[in-house]
């Protein structure tokens, strides 16, 4: 089915070295990873073509779906390293999920498979049931911790489910929408702002403070709600020798200063 819509490659290895055989088995999680390794337009196109093949409703968007790493699509190792029914064990986990019967042992067993980790596994579970699961990955981890105030660390399936329960208590939207919100939040956070902080040398000896590296903060009166950690700053000193005296980076959120400390 993946081949029929132009997805690939499916190169496997019978031994160490170059790819020399074609993949002859796959699990449902890796099936989805193959689709989501592409950019937004291509994977939506592939999803729609697969939906047509299956005679089901075609999706109109793919917002909030985590991307799979193109270099690490499989949740299992190469053929010559598959020696313990890795693909069958992933199918077992998939079938247990369809019945709602995953146990800590099932989850732990899947994590023992080479090329499968907690991030990848929670993304895979989200692929097949985005109402029940939320991926604990790069975009969602900081969102869960900083916005929702929940520690995203877990080791077992039970701990993972407990985190999902905590999240549900604090949100009113489905997990698939939350996944998109977390992505947007992170994307916005990555956008770096550039600010000019202006100082008057008649009020403070900025040049000496900079040369002795004792200038660690700056008083701002405008745009406090927009200044964020990671933003870049130009320290501009006015007067007869006006100009940029230093470049800086914001390392903490703007806060009320205590004049007594």
| pLDDT 10s digits, 35-79 | 999 999 999 999 999 999 999 999 999 888 999 988 899 999 999
61, 167: one domain: yes
Angle at Cα 96 formed by Cα 95 and Cα 99, nearest 5°? Answer: 90
Distances (CA, A) of 138 to 119, 142, 161, 186, 234: 8, 7, 18, 9, 30
Residue 239's domain comprises: 192-249
148, 240: one domain: no
Tell me which of 38-52, 103-117, 131-145, 208-222 is least confident: 208-222
| Alpha carbons within 13 A on the beta-carbon side of 10 | 16
Global pTM?
0.74
Instruction: Return the structure tokens found at 233.
Output: 């700053």
118, 243: one domain: no
Q: How far apart are CA 238 and CA 7, in angstroms?
A: 60
217, 150: one domain: no
Whether residue 59 is contained in a domain is answered as yes
Asked if pLDDT for residue 260 goes beyond 60, the answer is: no
Q: For position 50, what pLDDT does the model report?
A: 96
Q: In the listed set 170, 188, 206, which residue is the last one of a domain according to the structure?
A: 188
Q: For position 217, what pLDDT does the model report?
A: 86
Mean local confidence (pLDDT), 16-25:
94
Q: Beta partners for 199?
A: 237
Asked if pLDDT for residue 261 goes beyond 50, the answer is: no
Tell me how far apart the terminal alpha carbons of the chain are, to the nearest angstrom.
67
Whether residue 257 is contained in a domain is answered as no
Q: Beta partners for 237?
A: 199, 243
Question: Is the CB of residue 1 less than 8 Å from the CB of residue 55?
Answer: no
Give the number of domains in the chain: 2
211, 100: one domain: no
Mean local confidence (pLDDT), 235-257:
88
Mean pLDDT of the chain: 92
Dihedral Cα 75, 143, 182, 113, nearest 10 deg: 0
152, 212: one domain: no
Q: Which residues contact 68 (CB under 8 A, 6 or more apart)?
A: 32, 33, 34, 36, 37, 123
Provide the pLDDT confidence category of residue 256 given band limits of 50, 70 and 90.
Answer: confident
Asked if pLDDT for residue 212 goes beyond 90, the answer is: no
Helix (H) or strand (E) holding 235: strand 232-237
Instruction: Return the structure tokens found at 38.
Output: 């592409």
Provide the pLDDT confidence category of residue 177 given band limits of 50, 70 and 90.
Answer: very high
108, 196: one domain: no
Q: For position 13, what pLDDT does the model report?
A: 96
Q: How far apart are CA 125 and CA 133, in angstroms?
A: 6
Question: Is the CB of residue 200 less than 8 Å from the CB of residue 245?
Answer: no
Mean local confidence (pLDDT), 69-98:
96
Instruction: Return the structure tokens found at 134.
Output: 């939320």
Q: For position 259, what pLDDT does the model report?
A: 61
């Amino acid at each position: 089915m993946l081949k029929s819509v132009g997805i690939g490659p499916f190169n496997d290895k019978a031994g160490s070295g170059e790819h020399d055989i074609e993949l002859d088995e796959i699990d449902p999680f890796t099936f989805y990873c193959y689709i989501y390794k592409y950019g937004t337009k291509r994977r939506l196109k592939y999803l729609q073509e697969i939906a047509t093949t299956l005679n089901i409703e075609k999706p109109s968007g793919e917002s909030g779906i985590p991307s799979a790493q193109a270099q690490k699509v499989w949740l299992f190792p190469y053929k010559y390293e598959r020696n313990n029914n890795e693909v069958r064990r992933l199918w077992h986990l998939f079938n247990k999920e369809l019945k709602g019967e995953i146990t800590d042992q099932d989850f732990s067993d899947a994590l023992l498979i080479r090329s499968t980790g907690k991030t990848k596994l929670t993304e895979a579970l989200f692929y097949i049931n985005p109402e029940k699961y939320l991926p604990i990955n790069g975009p969602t981890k900081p969102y869960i911790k900083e916005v929702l105030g929940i520690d995203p660390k877990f080791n077992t399936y039970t701990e993972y489910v407990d985190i999902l329960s905590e999240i549900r208590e604090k949100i009113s939207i489905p997990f698939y929408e939350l996944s998109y919100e977390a992505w947007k939040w992170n994307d916005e956070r990555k956008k770096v702002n550039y600010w000019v902080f202006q100082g008057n040398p008649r009020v403070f000896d900025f040049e000496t403070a900079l040369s002795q590296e004792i200038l660690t903060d700056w008083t701002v009166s405008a745009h406090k709600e927009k200044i964020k950690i990671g933003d870049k700053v130009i320290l501009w000193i006015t007067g007869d020798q006006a100009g940029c005296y230093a470049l800086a980076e914001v390392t903490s959120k703007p806060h009320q200063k205590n004049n007594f400390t």
